[in-house]
Chain A
Amino acid sequence: GENVEQHPSTLSVQEGDSAVIKCTYSDSASNYFPWYKQELGKRPQLIIDIRSNVGEKKDQRIAVTLNKTAKHFSLHITETQPEDSAVYFCAVTHPGAGSYQLTFGKGTKLSVIP
């Protein structure tokens, strides 16, 4: 099955700095790559997603880049704010997966220090 590696597991940044979280995947047929943010005690919420026919997508301070050849994708958060502190999960899915179920990375705990 699909294997997703996510790094780092924890990340601390100063407010205003950028944060980058990286994920690698094993199945070259994977074609959908969402990122979820989970605040303490809350449900995971989709923050951005990208499909394999796109190399980069941006939404305000958040961007995702995809390198299909290398089979990795990254989440970039610029001008970090304390409310960005949360656990972030990457995920992948591919056409061969029944119902397009997602395989998740193990998560990155981001702490933004004021």
Chain B
Amino acid sequence: DVKVTQSSRYLVKRTGEKVFLECVQDMDHENMFWYRQDPGLGLRLIYFSYDVKMKEKGDIPEGYSVSREKKERFSLILESASTNQTSMYLCASRPRDSGATWRYTFGSGTRLTVV
């Protein structure tokens, strides 16, 4: 079973801090994604990556950046945390389309509070 691990379940950070959210998957998936989840807004795509060192903006990239130095690890970076970035952050991965599945596997999420 694919395992997607997010390093922190809960984080509390101060406004202006640089914040790193880490995600690791153990199934050699090419594609990785970062979403934020807010009540009434569903899951919104922040950034995704389809290969090492490759990244693409999603629907709401402002205030975020990402890093993918190794295939198994995809990091989300808040350059200067703000209170409106308080949210649940979900990482997901999926294999390159092999025709067999397009299915995502999600991590457990990191609930970030910026004070």
Interface residue ranges, A against B (CB under 8 Å) = 1, 6, 9, 32, 34, 42-46, 49, 89, 93, 98-107
Contact = CB atoms under 8 A, between A and B. Distances in A.
B43 A46 contact: no
A42 B108 contact: yes
Question: Main SS of chain A's interface residues?
Answer: mixed
B45 interface: yes
Interface of B: 30-31, 33, 35, 40-45, 48-50, 56, 58-59, 90, 94, 97, 102-104, 106-109
Among all A-B residue pairs, the 3 with the closest Cβ atoms: A106-B42, A99-B50, A43-B106
A44 B106 contact: yes
Nearest to B108: A43
Given A49-B103, A98-B50, A100-B97, A44 B42 contact: no
B57 to A, nearest CB: 10
A39 B31 CA distance: 25
